[in-house]
Amino acid sequence: MDKSLKADIGLSVLWSVDQTSSQATKNCMWRETSDYKSCQERHIWERWIFRCLTSAEALTMDRIPGQTGYLLLNEEGAVLASSGDLENDEKAAVIIMGLINLTSYVDKAAFPDESFKKLSITYDKHCYVICLSNRKVHVVKKTLTSDNPVVA
Amino acid sequence: MEKHLDRVMDEVVNKPGVFGCVFVNHQGLCLGAKGKASTESAGLIAAIAEQAAKLEPHSSAPIVTLETDNKTCIIQRAGTITGAIYKNRSS
């Protein structure tokens, strides 16, 4: 557990992160509203929970086979987590958010009442895979090998 | 004048699993559409290809794949023409 977060809130908390899934709140100790001594304490607590969830999602992306980098963005395009080739790559984040806005509805005749679940950008030897989940944008950069081809 | 393009579109739509295609010029104007495809999406298709190319300006044009549960839209720019192919995912 991130010790700086513990010091941040000054509370002792029992929690664990199931790293095979994104269930960061699995054993988290929630506090009732009346337990908060102040609004500031509640704000710190909620911010900590948010950071746990974001960290868990980033950990999951870290484990994808062949990945050389990832980006985790919020719905406004701000970078929540990044790693590898995409570390601190805000330029890529802006381009990808622009792409997502464009692809909301491509062709009503071909895809009526459907929105896209996954977006891939494939080059010769690597690709970017983008999907939306839990109100966040997940971007993974992966190398393409003969064992790991991308099928259209 | 568009006979060659028509022929190419017929060939594309006759491939297994393909149910539509659209071809667009560099300005986003529709050159042709075949099958279950709308000419109105021409501008968007060109814009998507152009936006995706900005990710790696020094690399060749990428293939953009948009996937729903059952269908796929594949977009790529080649020279001044951008093509979009709509396929069913089962094939």
Q: What is the pLDDT of residues A14-24, one digit of tens each?
A: 344 444 444 44
- If one counts the domains in chain B, the total is 1
For B67, which of A95, A98, A118 is closest by C-beta distance? A118
- The count of other CB atoms within 10 Å of the CB of residue A119 is 23
Q: Residue B6 burial by CB count (10 A; 0-12/13-18/19+): exposed, middle or buried? A: exposed
A147: tokens are 């064992």
Q: Do A123 and B56 touch (CB under 8 A)?
A: yes
CA distance A139 to A92: 10
pTM of the full predicted structure? Answer: 0.74
Per-residue pLDDT of chain B (91 residues; tens, 9 = 90+): 788 899 999 999 999 999 999 999 999 999 999 999 989 999 999 999 999 999 999 999 999 999 988 899 999 999 999 999 999 987 5
DSSP for residue B36: S
In sequence order, the β-bridge partners of residue B67 are A118, B72
List the structure tokens of A124. Answer: 């010769």
Q: Using 50, 70 and 90 to split pLDDT, how confident is the model at A129?
A: very high
At B61, the amino acid letter reads A
Contact criterion met (CB < 8 Å) for A106 and B48: yes
Residue range of the domain that includes B15? 2-88
CB-CB neighbours of A32 under 10 Å: 6
Cβ <8 Å between B44 and A119? no
Please report residues of B whose CB lies closer than 8 A to that of A152. Answer: 63, 65, 72, 74, 87
CB B74 within 8 A of CB B7: no
Helix/strand number for chain B, H first, E second: 2, 5
CA distances from A11 to A47, B50, B61 (A): 14, 50, 52
**What's residue B57's pLDDT?**
93
Tell me the average pLDDT across A100-110.
Answer: 81
Check which CATH number belongs to the domain holding B44 and give it: 3.30.450.30
